[in-house]
Amino acid sequence: MLLEGAWLTAWISGLSIALGVVLGLGLALLRMARIPVIDQIVAAWISLARVTPLVTLVLFLFLAAPAVGLPASREALAVLALTLNTSAFNAEIWRAAFRSFSREQREAALACGMPPALMFRRIMLPQMVQNSLPGLINEMSFLIKGSPAIAIIGLVDLSRVTNRIAAVTYEPLPPILAAAAIYMALIAVLVRLQAWAQRNASRLAG
């Protein structure tokens, strides 16, 4: 039961993390474009998503989906909620990484005749990946630790399985310790991923 709950937690969190990193980069690029109306809309959305509790966002989407006729499964809604939540934080992490890129490097690349798109892909993006990795990995770990919020819509994730086992056996400590070990293992995977990604930042961005 614990492994089944851990699998649900792992794949929903993993998919949300991947989508959140990409969407966060897109939101950051929209903000860096400095198009007045779009920048204000994106900034307002990021602020709203960051201050909204994850459990509230999950419950809101679960209740709102039928009201607008959206035929989405609970798993899809959970992924959507986690993605929207983490992408808002990731956007600010990406934007901070962009700001760490020196103006002199941009001017030197443009002076050499490098097109802006090529400069971004070959020079800026590898450095942004390198600089943002610690923050992104930290946000990923927060997402995994916040994933029990999806249990509110009936998904049997790791936290819900733990509660069920404790309710049946009247011995809460063993399942809690087992669940804690699984969560720690998931976080350890992210730490290893960060070390690998930092070594291959240029190749990943290119």
Domain boundaries, the chain: 2-205
Q: How far is CA 201 from the centre of its chain?
A: 18
Q: How far is CA 159 from the centre of its chain?
A: 19
90-116 mean pLDDT: 82
**pTM value surpassing 0.85:** yes
pLDDT, residue 194, reads 79
Q: Which tens digit of pLDDT belongs to each residue from 47-86?
A: 999 999 999 999 999 999 888 888 789 999 999 999 999 9
May I ask the CATH architecture of the domain 2-205?
A: Orthogonal Bundle (1.10)
Q: How far is CA 114 from CA 108, 175, 184, 186, 202, in A?
A: 9, 57, 45, 41, 18
Residue by residue, DSSP assigns 55-122 as HHHHHHHHHHHHHTT----HHHHHHHHHHHHHHHHHHHHHHHHHHTS-HHHHHHHHHTT--HHHHIII
Average pLDDT, the chain: 89
Q: Residue 11 above 60 pLDDT?
A: yes
